[in-house]
């Protein structure tokens, strides 16, 4: 049977095996998908062992995405833009290929939620890997402008430099007063019970507030957005499932339906 796996450290909370097994079952694909705990200094060895044992493809999560990027012999355009790889596979010529499906996963989820991205203006908060990987796919989806705002402005500027004038960098106190239809929190602030400290006026025209994090309860950013009257709030569970669906498609050439899997995970989280 074809074998796939997610590599990370830690890995025991990964939802990827659950997601990919449901995808496989729904499409009648015969495959195994496991979670592999790679030692912090041993990701390359873990991957090699997996491939030697017949492994076909892998997902890569924290903290190995940059290392996977350096390991890949062939990088997709979106992996190059993100500077990170979350999906690995061996192509027909035996070369190790690296792709990144996180950003397209975000875009798919925004579309699923009914966001009209074409010609929209988006406020993207945060300037880490999560934010960087989202920009290319958002631009490809036709957004007019992305205001990339970070607590530490210089980091937003460094990222914006690799894109064209559609991406504008700022800090939290100098966000331009333009109407944002979608506001995305790509910071890790929710992990410490915080939210990005931006002024409420930036949410005035916002129809969808999105947080890339997820949990049993709405994140502090989503709770705040609701209080400000934003019509729709969504967490990153849909993005997680959508990035997995895109990886599944790369490996198997079949696109799984994400709705049922998101529902199953939501039930699991709130049980």
Kindly state the helix (H) or strand (E) to which residue 221 belongs, with its residue range. Answer: helix 220-227
* C-alpha–C-alpha distance, residues 194 and 125, integer Å: 13
Instruction: Count how many Cα atoms sit within 13 Å of the Cα of residue 11 in the half-sphere of its side chain.
Output: 21
The DSSP output letter for 34 is E
Give the shortest CB-192-to-ligand ATR separation in angstroms: 6
Mask for 92-131, x = binds ligand ATR (CB under 6 A): ----------------------------------xxxxxx
Give the shortest CB-122-to-ligand ATR separation in angstroms: 16
Residues 155-194 that bind ligand ATR (CB under 6 A): 155, 187-189, 192, 194
Residue of 113, 97, 116 lying closest to 105 (CA atoms)? 113
Active site annotation includes 65: yes
**Phi–psi pair at 79, nearest 5 degrees:** -70, -40
* C-alpha–C-alpha distance, residues 4 and 42, integer Å: 18
Mask for 196-235, x = binds ligand ATR (CB under 6 A): x---------------------------------------
Binding of ligand ATR at residue 154 (CB under 6 A)? no
Binding site for ligand ATR (CB under 6 A): 126-131, 150-152, 155, 187-189, 192, 194, 196
Q: Mind telling me the catalytic residues? A: 65
């Amino acid at each position: 049977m074809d074998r796939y796996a997610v590599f990370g450290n830690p890995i025991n909370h990964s939802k990827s095996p659950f997601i990919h097994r449901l995808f496989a079952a729904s499409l009648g694909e015969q495959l195994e998908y496991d979670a592999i705990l790679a030692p912090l200094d041993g990701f390359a060895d873990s991957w090699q062992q997996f491939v030697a044992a017949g492994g076909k493809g892998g997902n890569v999560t924290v903290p190995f995405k940059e290392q996977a990027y350096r390991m890949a012999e062939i990088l997709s355009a979106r992996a190059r833009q993100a500077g990170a790889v979350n999906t690995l596979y061996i192509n027909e010529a035996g070369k190790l290929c690296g792709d990144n499906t996180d950003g397209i996963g975000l875009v798919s989820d925004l579309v699923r939620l009914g966001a009209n991205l074409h010609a929209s203006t988006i406020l993207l908060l945060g300037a880490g890997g999560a934010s960087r990987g989202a920009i290319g796919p958002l631009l490809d989806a036709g957004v007019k402008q992305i205001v990339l705002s970070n607590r530490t402005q210089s980091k937003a500027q460094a990222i914006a430099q690799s894109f064209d004038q559609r991406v504008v960098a700022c800090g939290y106190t100098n966000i331009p007063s333009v109407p944002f239809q979608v506001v995305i929190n790509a910071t890790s602030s929710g992990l410490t019970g915080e939210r990005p400290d931006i002024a409420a006026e930036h949410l005035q025209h916002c129809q969808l507030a999105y947080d890339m994090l997820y949990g049993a309860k709405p994140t502090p950013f989503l709770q705040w957005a609701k209080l400000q009257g934003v019509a729709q709030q969504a967490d990153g569970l849909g993005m997680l499932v959508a990035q997995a669906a895109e990886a599944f498609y790369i490996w198997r050439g079949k696109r799984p339906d994400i709705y049922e899997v998101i529902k199953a995970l939501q039930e699991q989280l709130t049980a």
